[in-house]
Structure formats: structure tokens, C-alpha cells
Amino acid sequence: MTRVVWSVWLPLAALAAWQAAAMAGLASPLFAPAPTLLARSAAEMVRSGELPASIAATLARTAGGFAIGSAIGLAAGLLMGSLRAAFRSFDPILSALNATPKLILLPLLLIVLVVVAIHTADAIHHVRPAWVELAVNYGADRRALVRHVYLPACLPQVFTGLRLALGNALVIAVSCELVSPSTGLGSVIWLAWQTFSIDRLYIAILTTAALGAGLHGALRLAERRLLPWKAGD
């Protein structure tokens, strides 16, 4: 409960201040409609099915790129971290992709792949050599080293990469929907801007922000469940 309070008090305070400014006439109803008006518009978009459909479309694009890209990125990072030849071969390519403007890196899985692979490889390179030597002395082969030494040791940083990759995937998904509006939250933002529907614009932006926070929180929860030794972090 304490964690939840610390997570939500600042956004709620900002909404309360926004509502108070709107009621006092300090905020323009044209450019900054009151949160209560936005809530009514959001309820109407939910009842019509437009908002749930847009959220589902954006989530589908984000999840598809994230699932495939993170799996490939984790495998590539483990390979690069455990084999020096693989690192020397793929590191220049990943560095070039990481420096390339993200909107031209389609599909989304490429963006996720780069982030997860870099974090995984870096985590493996920082595994304590004593742990590796101890495992080798007990007869561990390369597969056993990856499974019992490298992977458990690098999982905390891997989850950091996954959180960053998931955020990037959501941003790029919405950005692509802005560039080519068809369905999704980006499409709602673009059409709202074109028609000057400020309430719908705010609703789509706030929904995207809430979606990002929710996905980030879900990954943090999964990390605490899967990595109990990091529970106190």
C-alpha cells in the first residue's frame, strides 16, 4: 500500500491542481479542459468502444515487437557475452543500429533486439570471474555456464533492458500510428489534432502515458517475483 501511495500521489496532485485551476478560470477550457470534462469524454469513448479498440491495437503492435525482439535480443546478448568472437562480430552492427533514428528501424523487434542484446552482453561481461572459474572447476561446460552462472547473474540488468525496450516499443508503435494513422492511440492523437478535438487529444496522450506506466509496473512486479534476491532493491 505504501508503494502504491508513493506511486500515485504526484499524478493525483497534478490532476487536482489542474481541476482547481480550471474551476478558478486560470486554465483555458479550449486548450486545457478540466479533468472532469476529460473524464466524461473518456467515458463516452469507452462506451462507444473507440478507446478500448485503440488501446488493443497499440498493445498488439507493441507486444508483437517486444516478444520477438526481446527473445532474439536475449539470445544474441548471451552469445555475445559468452563468446568473444561473437561480440567482436556483432557489436559494431548493434552499435550502428542503436545510433540510427528509431523510426526507420522497422519492424519494432529490431529496436527491442538492440536494447536487450546490449544490456545482456554488458551484464555477462561484468559477471565475477571467480564464479566462472568455480563452475569450470566443478566441470561445468559452456551450456552449464550460461544456464547456471551467466543467466542468473545477468537477469537484473536484463530486466532493466527489458523495461527500456518495452518503453521504446510503445513509443515507436504510437509514433508509427502517428505517421500512418489507421488504428491505435497514435491514430486517435493524429485525428484529434487534425480536427482540433482537444479533449480527445488529451485523453489519448494520458492513456498512452498510463499504458506505459502500467507496462513498466508489470515488468517491475515480474522482476520481484522472478528475482527474489533483488526484492529489497
Is residue 39, in this structure, part of any structural domain at all?
no
pLDDT of residue 110: 63
pLDDT of residue 82: 78
pLDDT of residue 233: 47
Is residue 18, in this structure, part of any structural domain at all?
no
pLDDT of residue 228: 75
pLDDT of residue 229: 67
Is residue 123, in this structure, part of any structural domain at all?
yes
Is residue 10, in this structure, part of any structural domain at all?
no
DSSP of 57-110, one letter per residue? HHHHHHHHHHHHHHHHHHHHHHHHHH-HHHHHHHHHHHHHHHHS-GGGS-SHHH
pTM over 0.75: yes
Residue span of the structural domain in which 129 resides = 51-230
pLDDT of residue 145: 83
Is residue 113, in this structure, part of any structural domain at all?
yes
CATH number of the domain residue 221 falls in = 1.10.3720.10
Question: How far is the C-alpha of 193 from the C-alpha of 232, rounded, in Å?
Answer: 44
Please identify every stretch of the chain with a pLDDT value under 70, giving residue numbers as ranges. Answer: 100-111, 181, 229-233
Total structural domains within the chain: 1
Q: What contacts 24+ positions apart, CB below 8 Å, involve 145-150?
A: 145/82, 146/78, 146/82, 150/78, 150/81, 150/82, 150/124
Is residue 29, in this structure, part of any structural domain at all?
no
Is residue 24, in this structure, part of any structural domain at all?
no
List pLDDT tens digits, range 185-221: 999 999 998 888 999 999 999 999 999 999 998 998 8
pLDDT of residue 52: 95
pLDDT of residue 177: 87
List pLDDT tens digits, range 126-138: 888 888 888 888 8
Is residue 46, in this structure, part of any structural domain at all?
no
